[in-house]
């Protein structure tokens, strides 16, 4: 029996212990951009909501205090997700999907669901209300990411695997139609389509569902008279500036008044009870009036950096075969990117009026909590990506030391009668250690 030379000091158990102890780092660009947007949002909520609070006799700082309270809760929620292993989150994928349906059904239960402005979208928790779809968007992204990992090959090869997530999305859409919430249902469908494409779906197969879905979506959009009025007023808001075009005309006046550098922080006139929802859906118009074109460009640049960095992190995860982490990053990037795009487009008169908040900036407890949860998940992805890159770098360095530490004359010589230990185990283990898969998510 041949005695192979032992690898010096690089036992698998000892090495695994040291690799597990390697820390990761949260992506500084994601963290810095998120903090910048949150701080900017606090300033703008304070500026845009003072007159509204006084008009409602709740105090000038009511909405600011409420926003800070939800932001604190959101930071705590994000911190919890940032410290939770992705494999633990992935194991709860089916439970999270069930919770999506439970939350959307609970809004119709008397005593639990609450109607606000004619829409039954809220859960009543006594001291606070919560818009269920904000939690659904995050949980649905996690389930869809897990599904794409488990059926990655089938999604590209079979109709059934591709249509299953579309069926789940349609089931969620049916519940959202009953609320009604056309903006969120469009966002869910867009996230589903985007993640399927990024997950490697066979693109020609997507044409059929898209060709069927777009006309149905258009029919849903124009079925209700109020949605049709919003759509027509978008083309010419000045045709009816005191009714269907009221919000958009006041938003456009605010934007035009801001010019290049704005009238100064706190100097907006439109927020003085002229512009409806100045601190929520139309906060960008107040930003444009007070900080001008430069302020709007700053906001767009911050969102572009946040979403672009999220896509980049997702791509790096997929390249390292950490597919669950990558798909989660893609889903969060699509959610934040599409929602901010629609909100900015509505404020600028580029899209029909729709009640979607500007993430991290608009006042709104549910939106703040949902956005913070999504960012906490995204930052966890960046942490585990950095940790994996450190592990790979350490393993490659140790494998190089192992290769250099064994004299050439001491290496086993392969024979034709029996496979060598290096060919059967040593080489394969070394290759696995240099290019690890890191569990299910790899």
pLDDT tens-digit readout, 162-190: 889 999 999 999 999 888 888 888 899 99
Residues 6+ apart with CB under 8 A from 159: 205
Please give the pLDDT value at position 183. 85
Over the range 129-145, which residues count as b (16 or more CB within 10 Å of their CB) and which as e?
ebbbbbbbbbbbbbbbb
Please give the pLDDT value at position 358. 93
Q: Which of 49-63, 309-323, 349-363 has the highest mean pLDDT?
A: 309-323
Residue 368 lies in a domain: yes
Residue 432 lies in a domain: no
State pTM to two decimals. Answer: 0.84
Residue 414 lies in a domain: no
Please give the pLDDT value at position 21. 66
Residue 361 lies in a domain: yes
Residue 275 lies in a domain: yes
pLDDT in tens, 258-313: 999 999 998 899 998 888 889 999 999 999 999 999 999 999 999 999 999 999 99
Burial of 236 (0-12, 13-18, 19+ CB in 10 A): exposed
Please give the pLDDT value at position 435. 37
Within 199-241, where are the H helices?
203-223, 225-235
pLDDT for 254 beyond 90: yes
Please give the pLDDT value at position 238. 86
pLDDT in tens, 216-226: 887 877 777 77
Q: Which residue has the higher pLDDT, 120 or 91?
A: 91
Q: What is the rounded distance in angstroms from the CA atom of residue 287 to the CA atom of residue 290?
A: 5
Q: Which of 21-25, 210-214, 295-299 has the highest mean pLDDT?
A: 295-299
Residues 6+ apart with CB under 8 A from 181: 119, 121, 133
Q: Which residue has the higher pLDDT, 416 or 152?
A: 152
Q: How many CB atoms lie within 10 A of CB 432?
A: 11
Residues 6+ apart with CB under 8 A from 84: 380
Please give the pLDDT value at position 14. 45
SS3 92: coil
Q: What is the rounded distance in angstroms from the CA atom of residue 79 to the CA atom of residue 64?
A: 22
- Determine how β-strand 129-131 pairs with β-strand 113-116: unpaired
Angle in degrees, CA 200, 206, 207, rounded to 5: 145
Number of domains composing the chain: 1
Residues 6+ apart with CB under 8 A from 179: 104, 107, 119, 120, 121, 133
Q: Which residue has the higher pLDDT, 354 or 376?
A: 376
pLDDT in tens, 361-407: 999 889 999 999 999 999 999 999 999 998 888 888 777 776 665 44
Please give the pLDDT value at position 403. 67
> Which range has the worst mean pLDDT, 129-133, 199-203, 403-407?
403-407
Residue 26 lies in a domain: no
Residue 132's domain spans which residues?
Answer: 39-393
Q: How confident is the model at residue 413 (pLDDT cuts 50, 70, 90)?
A: very low
Please give the pLDDT value at position 80. 96
* Mean pLDDT of all residues belonging to the chain: 83
Residue 419 lies in a domain: no
Residue 14 lies in a domain: no
Burial of 419 (0-12, 13-18, 19+ CB in 10 A): exposed
Q: How many CB atoms lie within 10 A of CB 391?
A: 18
């Amino acid at each position: 029996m041949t005695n192979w030379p032992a690898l010096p000091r690089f036992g698998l158990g000892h090495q695994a212990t040291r690799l597990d102890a390697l820390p990761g780092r949260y992506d500084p660009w994601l963290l810095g951009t998120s903090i910048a947007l949150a701080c900017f949002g606090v300033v703008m909520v304070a500026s845009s909501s003072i007159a509204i609070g006084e008009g409602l006799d709740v105090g000038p700082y009511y909405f600011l205090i409420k926003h800070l309270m939800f932001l604190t809760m959101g930071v705590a929620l994000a911190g919890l997700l940032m410290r939770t292993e992705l494999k633990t989150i992935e194991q709860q994928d089916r439970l999270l999907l069930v919770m999506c349906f439970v939350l959307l059904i609970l809004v119709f239960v008397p005593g639990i669901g609450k109607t606000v402005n004619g829409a039954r979208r809220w859960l009543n928790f006594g001291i606070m209300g919560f818009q269920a779809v904000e939690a659904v968007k995050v949980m649905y992204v996690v389930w869809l990411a897990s599904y794409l990992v488990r059926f990655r090959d089938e999604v590209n090869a079979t109709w059934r695997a591709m249509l299953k997530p579309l069926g789940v999305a349609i089931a969620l859409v049916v519940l959202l139609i009953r609320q009604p919430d056309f903006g969120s249902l469009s966002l869910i469908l867009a996230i589903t389509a985007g993640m399927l494409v990024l997950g490697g779906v066979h693109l020609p197969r997507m044409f059929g569902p898209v060709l069927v879905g777009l006309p149905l979506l258009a029919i849903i959009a124009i079925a209700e008279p109020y949605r049709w009025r919003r759509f027509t007023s978008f083309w010419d808001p000045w045709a009816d500036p005191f009714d269907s075009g009221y919000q958009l005309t006041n938003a456009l006046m605010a934007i035009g008044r801001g010019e290049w550098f704005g009238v100064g922080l706190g100097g907006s006139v439109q927020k003085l009870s002229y512009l409806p929802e100045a601190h929520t859906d139309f906060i960008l118009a107040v930003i444009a009036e007070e900080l001008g074109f430069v302020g709007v460009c700053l906001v767009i640049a911050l969102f572009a950096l946040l979403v672009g960095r999220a896509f980049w992190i997702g791509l790096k995860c997929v390249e390292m075969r950490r597919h669950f982490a990558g798909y989660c990053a893609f889903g969060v990037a699509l959610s934040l990117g599409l929602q901010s795009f629609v909100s900015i487009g509505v404020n600028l008169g580029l899209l029909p009026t729709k009640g979607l908040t500007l993430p991290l900036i608009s006042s709104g407890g549910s939106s703040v909590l949902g956005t913070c949860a999504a960012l906490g998940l995204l930052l966890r992805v960046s942490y585990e990506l950095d940790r994996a890159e450190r592990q790979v770098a350490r393993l490659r360095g140790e494998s190089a030391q192992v290769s250099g530490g064994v004299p050439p004359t001491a290496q086993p010589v392969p024979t034709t009668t029996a496979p060598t230990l290096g060919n059967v185990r040593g080489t394969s283990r070394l290759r696995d250690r240099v290019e690890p898969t890191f569990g299910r998510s790899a």
